[in-house]
Amino acid sequence: MATSINQHQSILESASRFPLPQGLRFSYGTAGFRAEASVLASTVFRSGILAALRSLKTGAVIGLMITASHNPVNDNGVKIADPDGGMLTQQWEPFADALINFDVSCMCISWAIMLVVLKFVEEENIPLGGVNSSAEILLGRDTRPSGRALVEAAKQGISAVIGAVAIDMGILTTPQLHWMVRRRNKRMKASESDYFEQLAKSFRCLVDLVPKEMAKLVDAKFVVDGANGVGGEKLEQLKGMLTGLEVEVRNLGRKGDGILNENVGADYVQKEKVIPCGFGSDDMGIRCASLDGDADRLVYFRLLSANSRSVDLVDGDKILSLFAVFIKEQLDSLSKMTNDKLRNRLSSRLGVVQTAYANGASTHYLKQLGLEVVFTPTGVKYLHKKASEYDIGIYFEANGHGTILFSEDFISSLHDVEKELASCPDCESRNAALRLLAVNQLINQAVGDALSGLLLAEAILQYYGWSINRWSELYHDLPSKQLKVKVADRSAVVTANAETQVVKPSGLQELINAETDKYSHGRCFIRPSGTEDIIRVYAEASTQEAADSLAQAVEQHVKRLLTEKSF
């Protein structure tokens, strides 16, 4: 009883120091809570309570990351990493929203928080205030100036829960924190040096398995745009441990070196299709890559002309395609083993997961390879969950966020097969097994990771002896157009089939179909924004003029129907 009273007092006293800004409402989406940094202290404090409760509930280490990813430097945000290193479970998102946005019109803020927490604790049977209850939360932040103060707010939220301990891991990329949480819960080493060592070791293994005739076909030199964020600094630390690569990192965010995400970074390059600051005509012919502000997105690019800033973009769709081609080839090699017993032991299901925003040309290319391609609604939490249903699941969004997931059963079987083939050191089946085991160690299976993705892409390019030009030529994107339609209520539009079909308002999907049928290779869908009253329109066609025309025609139908009808 005394412990329970102390717990109540601890939350009450701490909450009073973090009043909620009036007139604001926050929503926990794939990116967690995100806003202008000056209004986030109360949100981050309550997220500390949320993370502590999640740790108590699961009996595992939880992560809390302070970042706004590719947003401007004055923004910030907070996201929670679950025990597997992935996103906070969707089942807890309503509680997250309620905790951050509680109604305080009839009571003091502290008591409002207390009531919200107590109700949820009872529903979830969380051992709050118990004598033996304990929670551990790993904290990380990116390089934003506001990060330090927000980490302190998170610490106070965590310490308000009796038995909860915050461990400040310092400045990290978002994927590093997710990786650490996953490793800690597997009882494995999980420091930043362990992260670097694992990436360097597994990359070295992949490079050592590159066929000798391919080893010198790819220029070892390439240039990376660090987005003036944390990823560039971490890559600077990592590159000294790498063999077979000559990495030049620009836009490190050091004093006088530019502003975080301002005309730099993966999001900027992917959306604008131009070179970032710090790149110019001298980079003609050089393989280039760009990270985003917290290093969970990656795109490649090459400068098209010395007299232009336009780039040939190699986005997340083509990164996915490169990974899929490589993994399929290794699985094909394993399927040719003459030992039936070993071959049957390693039966595997490879799946590729995309959203409707994936360029239609990429989907067609992947299906032509004989791969199973499935779609989910937009958002990493949907992609990751679907990919986990396969023995090997690959997912990427066009923006460059994605990863590869391996099932534990498949990796266990792969280890067994590799041991059985140990007496055949030059056997291609054994080498294929070793390559897949190395990929399993290199790729960050908690979340999309620009650094691990970068190293895997570089290793595969060496394996095939491909230039970025050759990679880009895997297929040619269909021209596309995206538009935003402001509406009074985005919930008026309801979609199904991974957001590709409109259910409400009635009749709209038929109008979209009619417009789409007018164009060669036409494809169009609409979806409500997850954060604001906007309907997004996406269109593809065989020419840019046709894609623009299709998008504009559908935009007019959306405006007309949402104005004429009441829902």
Catalytically active residues, by annotation: 69
Q: What is d(CA 11, CA 205) in angstroms, rounded to the nearest whole number?
A: 50
Q: Known binder of ligand: residue 458?
A: no
User: 284, 2, 261: which is closest to 130 by C-alpha?
Assistant: 2
Question: Is the peptide bond prior to 505 cis by the omega test (within 30 degrees of 0)?
Answer: yes
Q: Known binder of ligand: residue 398?
A: yes
Q: What is d(CA 129, CA 137) in angstroms, rounded to the nearest whole number?
A: 17
- Residue 219 φ/ψ, nearest 5 degrees: -65, 125
Helix-then-strand count for the chain, H and E: 19, 19
At 548 the three-state DSSP class reads: helix
Q: Known binder of ligand: residue 531?
A: yes
Q: What is d(CA 558, CA 200) in angstroms, rounded to the nearest whole number?
A: 50
Q: Known binder of ligand: residue 340?
A: no
Q: Known binder of ligand: residue 72?
A: no
The DSSP element (H or E) to which 312 belongs, if any, is: strand 311-314
At 404 the three-state DSSP class reads: strand
Q: What is d(CA 201, CA 199) in angstroms, rounded to the nearest whole number?
A: 6
Q: Known binder of ligand: residue 527?
A: yes
Give me the residue label for tokens 């935003």: 484
At 190 the three-state DSSP class reads: coil
Q: Known binder of ligand: residue 294?
A: yes
Q: What is d(CA 369, CA 367) in angstroms, rounded to the nearest whole number?
A: 5
471: tokens are 């990679």
Q: Known binder of ligand: residue 440?
A: no
Q: What is d(CA 80, CA 88) in angstroms, rounded to the nearest whole number?
A: 5
| Neighbouring residues of 280: CB distance < 8 A, sequence distance ≥ 6 | none
Instruction: Specify whether the CB–CB gap between 77 and 31 falls below 8 A.
Output: yes
Report the Cα 198 to chain-centroid distance in Å: 20
Report the Cα 31 to chain-centroid distance in Å: 9
Q: Known binder of ligand: residue 530?
A: yes
DSSP 242: -
3-state secondary structure 77-140: EEEEECCCCCECCHHHHHHHHHHHCCCCCCCCHHHHHHHHHHHHHHHHCCCCCCCCCCEEEEEE
The side-by-side arrangement of strands in the sheet containing 480-486 is 480-486, 534-540, 523-528
User: 121, 74, 128: which is closest to 293 by C-alpha?
Assistant: 74
Annotated binding site for Mg(2+): 69, 292, 294, 296
Annotated binding site for substrate: 397-399, 527-531, 536
Annotated binding site: 69, 292, 294, 296, 397-399, 527-531, 536
